[in-house]
Structure 1
Amino acid sequence: MTKTAAEVQDRGVDAMVELRQRRAALLANRRLTWVFGTDDPGVVVHEAWAGEIRLRVHIPRALASGRPIVLAFHGGGWCWGSPEQSRWMAGRIAARIGAVVVAPAYRLAPEHPYPAAVEDCWSVLTWAVANADDLGADPARIAVLGDSAGGTLAAVLALRARDEGESRIRGQVLIYPLVDLVGLRGPGLGGIVEHYLGKDGSLAEEWSVSPLRATSHEGLPPALVLTARFDPMRSHAERYATALRTAGVEVTVHCPRLATHAYLTLPGISPASRGGLDRIVGFLRERLG
C-alpha cells in the first residue's frame, strides 16, 4: 500500500525527535565521563568565529609566537557531538606541544547534510591561515586531527589540500576514522549514513565521503592512525593505513588492546586514552617541530 504524504512527513518528524533525544542523551553521558575533562590550566580557551562556524580555540598561556596549528575535528557520526567533548585532549595537546588547537563546531546532519561538514572544515583551515598572526601561530606548520567522523574529515582535508596544492599540512592524526561509507549500515549506527548522505547512499562513492576510495593516496602528509582492538570499525583504520603505506606515505599505527571506539574521548573510564594522547603528542612534536 502506498504511504500517504502525511505518513511520510510524520515519520520524518519522528526521526528528528529521536535524533535530538539521542544528541541530548549522548551529551549527558559525555559529561558523566569527563572526570579528567577540565581544561588544561596551562591553556586559555577562547571562542571565535569563522564566518558562522563557532570555534573553540586553545592557546598556551606561555608567551610565544610562531606556534604550530592543530585543527581538531570532533566525532559523532556527522549528526551529533561538539568540540567540547574532546576538550581535555585539545587542551593537553596545546599545552604539551605549545600549539594553537582550533576545534570547530561544524554543521551537523540531517539539518545540514554532506557536504556541509566538509566545507566547514575547509573554511576553518582557510580561517586559521588568514588569522595566524593574531593567533601567534605559524601558518606553514599545520596538522589535522579527528576522531571517528572527525577522523574522516581530517583525512578528507589532507586529500583536498594535496589536490589544491596546499602544502601547509604536515601531519594527520586519524583516530578510529570511518573511511568507506559504501554499504555501511546497521542498527548500531543509528542511521548516521542516511542522515549524512540521504537514503540512496550513492554519494558514499565520493572520495570526500569515503577517503579510502580516493584515486590516489600518494603525496599525503605522514599519518598517525589510532584504532582499538575492540573497535567494531577497526578494519576501517587498518585498511586506510595499508592504503597510505602502499602509496608511500609514512604511517604509524597504534592499537591498544583494552579499548574500544571513542576511548580517546573517555579519559575518565578508559586508561588507554592517556597512552593514546602520549602517542599523539609525540607524533605532533615530530611533525610540527
Structure 2
Amino acid sequence: MKAWTIAALAAATGAGAWFARRHRQVQLAHPSLRHRLNYRVLPVNNPLVLAYYQHIVHKPTPVLEGVSVEHLQIPTAAPDDDHLVDLYVYTPQAGVTSRGALLWVHGGGLIMGSAALDHTHSSQLALDLGITVASVDYRLAPHHPFPAALNDCFAALAWLADEATKGRFDPARLVILGASAGGGLAAATAQRAHDEGIALALQGLIYPMLESGTGHTPMPGKGEFSWTPSANRYGWRSYLGRDVTNRDGRPYAVPAEREDLSGLAPAWIGVGELDLFYDEDLRYAARLRAAGVPVDLVTVPGMYHAADGLRPEAPAMLEFRAAMLSALRGALAS
C-alpha cells in the first residue's frame, strides 16, 4: 500500500475518532441548546486566533428602535492614567419607568469584545427594564493588562453614582450586571464600590469568570464549548501577566481571592452545569452567603458557557433570562 494511502487512512481514522468524541460531548448539552457551532473547536488561546475573533467574527450590533443612545468619554479611575473611557448610555424613548440605572459590563475573556458588540443587548435591557443602561467599553488585555479594565469599569460606575447625586438617578437603585469576564469585572467593581462607599442594590453575575486557576486541572464534562480551559488560561495570563500567582499590591485582580466578602451588594448568580465556571461560581455564591450577603443562585442543567447567546429562544434560556430580569426588577424597585 502506498505511503499516501496509509497517511490518508490514518487521517480519516483520526478525524472520525475526533468527531465521535465531539459528538458525545455535544450530547451532554440539553437537546434544545445544541448548536452546529458546538462542533467548532477554535479556542482563543493565542494571538492569531484572538485577532481572528476581534477583527472578523466580532461586529457591532444595532441599537434597537425605541432607544436613544448617547456616547460619552469619561476619565478612567486612576490619577496617573489620562485614558478616556468610552461609555454608551441607552434610554428608552418612551421614558423610564424607574429612576434606577444599570451598568452593563460585556464579556470576552478579558481579551476581546466591546460595548458596540453589545448595542442590541444593552438597548434590549433598557427596554425590558424601563431604565437607563450604561455600557462601558473597557480596555482589553494583553495590550492593557490589569488594572486598566477594572479602572475603566469603576469609572463608569462612579459616573452613574455622580449622576445620581445630581438627581438623575436614585442612588439606592444602582445595579451592575456583567457576563463571563464581564461578570468577573462586575464582581471586582462591586468589591471596589463597597470599599469606596458606592452603594449597589444588586450585582448581577452571569456565569462570571472569578478564579484564575480554573482550567489548570482536568474538569471532565465542563468547558467543552464557547470558553475552554486553554482559553481561560490565556485570558488570565494576558490580564495578570505571566506570573499569575503574584497578587502583591493588586487588589481586585481576581475577585474570588478577596478574603472578606461581608457587606458586599446582594448578588444574582446564574451559570450552567456544563460551564467551565460552574464550580468556581458555586464556591463564590457559598462564600458570599457565609459572609451574610443575600445570594440568588440559578443553575441550569445541560447549559454550557454562553448558551443563551447561541440558543436565546430555547425554553431553558428564556427562563434563565426571566430569572435575571426578575432579580433586576426587584432591586430597581426596592
Q: Give the alignment's TM-score, normalised by structure 1.
A: 0.82
Alpha-carbon distance in structure 2 between the residues aligned to 1:64 and 1:91: 13
Alpha-carbon distance in structure 1 between the residues aligned to 2:268 and 2:322: 12
Tell me the equivalent position of 1:117. 149
1:235/1:86 CA distance change after superposition, 3 Å: farther
Task: After superposition, give the CA deviation of every residue in 1:217-260 in whole Å (9 maximum; x if it has no partner).
Answer: 11111110010121122112111111111111111111222321
1:203/1:84 CA distance change after superposition, 3 Å: farther
Q: How many percent identity over aligned positions? A: 32
Residue 240 of structure 1, aligned match among 262, 284, 289: 284
- Stretch of structure 1 that moved more, 267-276 or 140-149: 267-276
Tell me the equivalent position of 1:42. 66
1:271/1:82 CA distance change after superposition, 3 Å: farther
**Secondary structure of 1:138 counterpart:** coil
User: Contact (CA 8 Å) 2:184, 2:255: kept in 1 or not?
Assistant: yes
Tell me the equivalent position of 2:304. 260
- Larger Rg over CA atoms: 2
User: Residue type of the partner of 1:86?
Assistant: D
User: Contact (CA 8 Å) 1:263, 1:270: kept in 2 or not?
Assistant: no
1:183/1:133 CA distance change after superposition, 3 Å: closer
Could you tell me which runs of 5 or more consecutive residues in structure 1 were left unpaired when the two chains were aligned: 1-14, 32-36
Alpha-carbon distance in structure 2 between the residues aligned to 1:99 and 1:127: 16
What is the CA-CA distance between 1:190 and the residue it aligns to? 6.4
What is the CA-CA distance between 1:277 and the residue it aligns to? 2.0
Residue 163 of structure 1, aligned match among 195, 213, 218: 195
User: Residue type of the partner of 1:236?
Assistant: E
Tell me the equivalent position of 1:145. 177
- Stretch of structure 1 that moved more, 93-102 or 187-196: 187-196
Please state if 1:178 is matched with 2:209: yes
- For these two proteins, the number of residue pairs brought into alignment is 267
User: Contact (CA 8 Å) 1:75, 1:81: kept in 2 or not?
Assistant: yes
Alpha-carbon distance in structure 2 between the residues aligned to 1:189 and 1:80: 12
**Secondary structure of 1:180 counterpart:** coil
1:136/1:241 CA distance change after superposition, 3 Å: same
What is the CA-CA distance between 1:66 and the residue it aligns to? 6.3
Q: Compute the RMSD of aligned alpha carbons.
A: 2.6
User: Residue type of the partner of 1:108?
Assistant: L
What is the CA-CA distance between 1:195 and the residue it aligns to? 1.0
What is the CA-CA distance between 1:111 and the residue it aligns to? 0.8
Could you tell me which runs of 5 or more consecutive residues in structure 2 were left unpaired when the two chains were aligned: 1-45, 76-83, 217-228
What is the CA-CA distance between 1:201 and the residue it aligns to? 1.0
Alpha-carbon distance in structure 2 between the residues aligned to 1:214 and 1:133: 29
Residue 232 of structure 2, aligned match among 165, 186, 189: 189
User: Residue type of the partner of 1:196?
Assistant: Y
Tell me the equivalent position of 1:106. 138
**Secondary structure of 2:286 counterpart:** helix
**Secondary structure of 1:173 counterpart:** strand
What is the CA-CA distance between 1:271 and the residue it aligns to? 5.1
- Stretch of structure 1 that moved more, 140-149 or 174-183: 174-183
Alpha-carbon distance in structure 2 between the residues aligned to 1:207 and 1:24: 32
User: Contact (CA 8 Å) 2:161, 2:198: kept in 1 or not?
Assistant: no
Residue 230 of structure 1, aligned match among 274, 285, 288: 274
Residue 323 of structure 2, aligned match among 255, 261, 279: 279
